[in-house]
Structures are given as structure tokens and as C-alpha cells.
Structure 1
Amino acid sequence: MKDKREIFARLHQPGNPLLLYNAWDAGSARAVADAGAPAIATGSHSLAGAQGYPDGEAIPLATLLESVRRIVAVVDVPVSVDFEGGFAVDPARLAEHATYLSETGAIGCNFEDRKVGGEGLHGLEEQAKRVAAVASAGLFVNARTDLFLSLLVAGRDPNDRSLLSDALERAAAYGEAGAGSFFAPGLSDPELIADLCAASPLPVNIMVYAKIADWRALAQCGVARLSWGPGPWRLAMATLKEQAEALYRS
């Protein structure tokens, strides 16, 4: 597993980003791997949705872990898992849960700083301790900040340049705590993304969605990792529903 983790870490190259077309179960992971993906990443919304649960740690941890075991079993490439907030708040419990995740064969995870099921973000020092707890399990931690995404969810412009210094402070703290990359979903302004990439001490992950569908332009901004989040699952489900409706409503 250590070798796969190191391979995965080396795939994070600014300007030549790791492309992660997110999967949600063993079947989709194998399809993406067979298409030539150098690594597999899950999205929390899609993996939970595929099991009939809403996003936000509603899926039982045991169910998540079993889904990850099945994914790891059918692909040979590194697997990273969207671990949301780690299904715990205190570092001791987080370290325990991260160990469970590592034992599935996954080599990395997304780990976010929003308070899952609560309001706002964990404080900087608190979240750094949480990141350190997850990293202690040997996982490559993609430390996510919801500074920008929270604005998008609230219906506001996420490209708020005044948050850049806060984001960079979090990137530095998370890196010192053991994170391997920094995830800033919600951003879509190329200039702001380029400035984040240039100043971040960690390789930057940006999420691709409709407003920034041109991933090659993001590569030129210095992004080191691109992920598609729930997009692939939503597209697959929309196609399934459309075809089923054509059958049953004809």
C-alpha cells in the first residue's frame, strides 16, 4: 500500500494535473480504471447515493468501508476516498476511523473542514489537529476547505478574493499537519485559482463542474489535481432515469 500511496502522491503535478473522474461503487470504479485512469477517487454524494443515502455522513461508516473494500478489490490502481469529516469530531476517534479506512486498502482520502451536520467550519488550530489525526493512519490526505464552496451553496459568488489569505493560511496549517494536497471546491475564476496555486504550499485540487468545464484551462492555472465530484454519478442517474421514462411512459 505504501508504494501505491507514493505513486499517487507523485501524480500531483502542477500544470499536469491528476484527473479523477469520480466513481461510486466497484462497477463504476472498474469502468473508470479500464478507461485508463491512473487512480480512482470516490465522491461522498455519489457513493452514498448509490447506496440509497443522502450526503453528509448519513451512510453508516461500516457501509462506506465495505463499499471501499469492494472498490479496492476490483482495481489495481491507487484508491482515494471522500471521507467527509471522518465520521467523528475529536482527533482520537478520527485516528481510529482513519485506521479503519486504511485497512480497506485505500491509500488516501478527502477530509473537509466544514462541521458536518453543523454550522460553519472548524477553527484553524482544531482542524489542523484533526488533519494530523487522519494523516497518522498513513493516508494521503487531500485537505479540503469549504471557505469557497459554502458561498456557492448559499447562492453567492464563491470567487471571493478576500478569502484567499484565509485559504492559504489553512493550506499551510494543513500541510504542516501532514496533508498531501489542498482541495478548494467551489472556485471557478481562473485568475483566483492561479493565484491560489502559485502561493499554496500544497498541490491544489479543484473540482470541475458545469461553470468550469474546460479542465485544460485549469491545468494552465497550475492545478495539480482535478476531480469531478458528484457529476459523473448525476449524469449516469439522469441517463438511467431518462431511458426508463422513455420505456414506461411511452
Structure 2
Amino acid sequence: MNKAELFRALHLGRAPGDPLVLPGPWDAASARVFAEAGFPALATPSAGVAACLGYEDGATPAEEMFAAVARIVRAVDVPVSADVEGGFGLAPGELVERLLQAGVVGCNLEDSDGGVLKDPREHAGFLAEVRAAAGGALFVNARVDTFLHGDGDPERAVERAASYVAAGADCVYPIRAPVDVLPLLRAGIQGPLNMLAGLDGEGPSPAALGELGATRVTFGPGLQRRAARALREIADTLVP
């Protein structure tokens, strides 16, 4: 079984309360920490990588993002999925080629641009082209931004998710969805469901999200930001 097959298999047959937990490394050093801790796979956050490279979220040039992701992949033996925002304006075939060159086994693709939701039919068409170009070599996680940039209507989120799954997405990610709508999303969405978890007691634990229907749990840039705060606390003790 290759890494792409292993990554896909990790999403299947998850028991309630046992979601796939994917920490988000922002550089090679953090990736090694998570891999050595025993996590079976990793998922890079675009905002965390951007911070590491000195950019605001959404402002990282494609070349630098792919180079950073490739360094993370080279640093560990476990499968790595990459958040590539909206695809950097690349054509589906070129995007897939760049992802595979970087060595990743999956990607996040969001359905908004500049804080505005994309037309769901057009985005579904884009996802279908990515799927056709990638075949089984990439696990496509389609982000649904209804709760982040839309009106927060769960039914609309389910509609968008359904169209993306029909287009070939392997998983959907209704980012910032309130926990109380998770059972409704789970009932209306086929296949794996990604939920965002907080840290330090902010929101339900990964296990609790799994009990409510999450297949996998990610943290966005939360781990990078928590590490930055810890480093700041250390730095403050060093100031003369």
C-alpha cells in the first residue's frame, strides 16, 4: 500500500469517538515532532505555513508554498496532505502536477475567494477536473466556507458539500461550523467529514467531535499559533 492509499484508508471505517486526528505542521521541525509523537499522517495549514514564511494568510506565493510543503514531506515518513487555499489560480492539471511533485497525498481546496463564496457549480466543475487529473493519487478535501463567509445556513452547506462529493471530493470540510449543527451536517453529507478543533479547552475535544459525526479533525493554524505564544513566553523571560 502506497502513502496515498494509506492516507485514504485512514479515513475509512472510523468508529464514533475515534476520528482521524491530523496535526498541522508549519515546517520540517514541527512535522518531525508530530510524526515522532505517533500521528499516522499530517495536514499542513496554509495560514501556519504563511506565518512561518513571513506572509499574511492568503498572501504566500505559490512557489514558496509548494517549496515549504515539499520540505515538510521530505522530513517525515508519514503521509502529508497540504492546504493549498483555492489552488493559486493554477489550472487543475498543473495544480495536481505541482502537488504530486511536492510529494503530498492530499489537498484542501476552499470554495471562497477574497472572502466571497464561489459559485458552487463552477467550483464543483473545478473539483471534478482536479479529480480527473489526479485519479487516485490525491485525497481531495473540499472546504465549505458557508459558515466562514456565507450566511451560515446548514442546508446550504449540505447542498454545497453534496455537489462537491458528486464531483469527486473524498471529504468535505465545513470550516467554522457550529458544533450544534454537526449532527445535521453528518446526516446530510455522504462520506468523510472534517471538523476544526480548538486547543487548550476551546471547544469540544477531537473525541467529542467524533462522537457527533466528524471523521477527521484538524486544527488549522492553531498549533503554530500556540507554539508562537509559548516561544513568546520563553522570550519574555530572556529580556534583560
TM-score by length of 1: 0.87
Q: How does 1:46-195 map to 2 (within 5 A)?
A: 46-56=48-58, 58-88=59-89, 93-115=91-113, 118-135=114-131, 136-137=133-134, 138-150=137-149, 160=152, 163-189=153-179, 191-195=180-184
User: Structure 2: how far apart are the matches of 1:196 and 1:87?
Assistant: 28
Identity %: 41
Q: What is the CA distance between 1:119 and its match in structure 2?
A: 4.4
Residues 87 and 94 in structure 1, CA contact (< 8 A), matched pair in contact too: no
- Structure 1 alignment gaps of length 5 or more: 152-157
The one-letter code sitting in structure 2 at the alignment partner of 1:84 is E
Give 1:225's aligned residue. 216
Change (3 A) 1:14 1:196: farther
Q: Secondary structure at the match of 2:116?
A: coil
User: Structure 2: how far apart are the matches of 1:142 and 1:246?
Assistant: 41
2:41 to 39, 42, 46: 39
After alignment, is 102-111 or 127-136 more displaced? 127-136
Change (3 A) 1:119 1:185: closer
The one-letter code sitting in structure 2 at the alignment partner of 1:24 is W
Q: What is the CA distance between 1:14 and its match in structure 2?
A: 5.7
User: Structure 1: how far apart are the matches of 2:62 and 2:160?
Assistant: 27
Residues 188 and 212 in structure 1, CA contact (< 8 A), matched pair in contact too: no
Give 2:206's aligned residue. 215
Residues 67-125 of structure 1: CA distance to partner in whole angstroms, max 9, x if unpaired? 11111112111100011000017xxx23312211111110101100011xx34111111
Residues 164-222 of structure 1: CA distance to partner in whole angstroms, max 9, x if unpaired? 22111111111121110000111232x41012112211211000025414222111112
The one-letter code sitting in structure 1 at the alignment partner of 2:124 is A
The one-letter code sitting in structure 1 at the alignment partner of 2:45 is G
Q: How does 1:225-244 map to 2 (within 5 A)?
A: 225-244=216-235
- Structure 2 alignment gaps of length 5 or more: none
The one-letter code sitting in structure 1 at the alignment partner of 2:216 is R
User: Structure 1: how far apart are the matches of 2:61 and 2:115?
Assistant: 21
Q: What is the CA distance between 1:47 and its match in structure 2?
A: 0.5
RMSD: 1.7
1:245 partnered with 2:236: yes
Q: Secondary structure at the match of 2:81?
A: strand
Q: What is the CA distance between 1:29 and its match in structure 2?
A: 0.6
TM-score by length of 2: 0.91
Q: Secondary structure at the match of 1:148?
A: helix
Aligned residues: 232
1:201 to 153, 173, 190: 190
User: Structure 2: how far apart are the matches of 1:133 and 1:110?
Assistant: 15
User: Structure 2: how far apart are the matches of 1:95 and 1:227?
Assistant: 27
User: Structure 2: how far apart are the matches of 1:35 and 1:166?
Assistant: 38
Change (3 A) 1:20 1:119: closer
- Moved >2 Å (runs of 4+): 13-16, 133-138
After alignment, is 174-183 or 118-127 more displaced? 118-127
